[in-house]
Structure 1
Amino acid sequence: MSATRLQIETFLDEDSSTFTHLVLDTSTGQCAVVDPVLGFDPASGRTDDSGARRIAHRIHELGAKLQWILETHAHADHLSAAPFLKRALGGKIGIGERIREVQKVFGELFGEGPGFARDGSQFDRLFADGDGFAIGSLPVRALHTPGHTPACLAYLIEDGEDSVAFVGDTLFMPDYGTARCDFPGGDASALYRSITRLLALPARTRLFMCHDYPPEGRALRWETTVAEQRRDNIHVRDGVDEATFVALRERRDAGLSTPRLMLPAIQVNMRAGRFPEPAPNGVSYLKLPIDALGRSRA
């Protein structure tokens, strides 16, 4: 894969500290967008598509054609802008096939009736582990990386030592560590095995993050390498075994609060970024399950 054939541009949503990646095959003009964000204010219920518009504008500037809108998982910290981009530019929305498990669990939590399909049909493509596809002429392989959620995927653009992977929330920058595993369907042991799989990729493989939460004094970063993670990751560097990681992860997770946008985000993202069907007055509503996730401790 020549450096001039693959072009990656990264956009930050400051409110959720989320990185959206624009992946362009310059030889064909075909592109993909990974993890697009729709702004949302839970206090007012207002959405904000300015970030998605900025990405759409950039695709127009490049003269590119949007082929794929790729979700690494059903995010709990932001709403997806996949439908906005699809309406504006076309393209197919893809996610891991185990989104069905997420839909089943959260469909029950939110009291969804039979009108909410739990078969993943809201998405255009459900990827199984190892599935191959292409962004233009760039070969991509879907890697199932469960642990944070059952449906997590990494998207690997393969070219030996010069491969690139978009890893979602599975890994963070080495000084922050790894994703939480306390959501329904999460599993710290599964996350350890998923990360081990990613870190078995060639050492120079570039890894693109979905988030960064830098310590004071460090600038935001969205790219690292397998070698850097194996050497420096505070949770899973070389020499950390599964039992040690699981104990650390579960201890950390026990003290974490629920993400600010989790309840609205999951309701929307399990529908491929769409809001529930409008009520007779034409307005869509999101539900707030009371004490369904357990009472807060005094």
Structure 2
Amino acid sequence: MDRETLTQAIRELKRERKAVILAHSYQRPEVQEVADFVGDSLGLAREAQRTKAEVIVFAGVHFMAETAAILNPEKTVLLPDIEAGCSLADSIRPEDVLAWKEAHPEGLVVAYVNTKAEVKALADVCVTSANAVEVVAALPKDRPIFFVPDMFLGAHVARVTGRRLDLFPGECHVHAGIREEHLRALLEAHPEAEFMIHPECGCGSSCLYLKPDAKMLSTEGMVRYAKKAAHSTFVVATEVGILHRLEKEAPNKRFIPVKPDAVCEYMKRITLEKVYLSLKEMRHAVRVPEEVAEKARKALSAMVAVG
């Protein structure tokens, strides 16, 4: 089927299945276009929690579909490609968290949403890049904090809040690949541009040194900021899937990727055809054992409530 036929078939199946399609901002443009809601991890979690649909098709990666399943145990959550994983979520194991907790019995575990359900179940609270600073700033100041798994986001949170955090040495392979030399080249080429940097980027500290007025923003923060900012040109340091949404929501502005090949191959595993097959054949249902989900739900509910 061509794209137009696939799109129409998806819309018809969505009505039949009483389904909603949620898509992350890093998804392919054509997948974003068939979604009912496009956003970042926090926005998607909130939308998954409030939807009245019976079926949630999650155009994202596995931990996102898991999050939706945890927050909606009575609904069917489908992931169009079961192999759509996450290198960051895969970097940490429950054993890593348990070892820290054993050494710090009074400690608090802050888990980035980019983690598997078994890790979330061991956390005191989950965060996204959009609310991590706010969540950590509100935690008791007399208790040690283990921030997992993204060390660059954790370093950003520590810098902004002034809190001492124990950081797990995890990273997103896409954001870690955006380096200082990429930023320096764009600074020279576009000195007038506004710089928007995702806090998962390994170049965050050096960017703030090179350009102190650069904005450290979540994907959703980038969209909101670009729409209201007076600047007309923006340099964007994150996965390039965000460019479609930025160009759509701020059509009179120019967006330049710091690294044009900053592509998450896991996000791009989701295609329009796979979304169609997911709805047609009800594949692939994502389920989390209730004993794990019950514990993870507490940490996720605290995350969704902030901000």
Same fold (TM over 0.5): no
Q: Which has the higher contact order (CA 8 A, sep 6+)?
A: 2
Greater share of helix? 2
In the superposition, the TM-score normalised over structure 1's length comes to 0.29
Greater share of strand? 1
In the superposition, the TM-score normalised over structure 2's length comes to 0.29
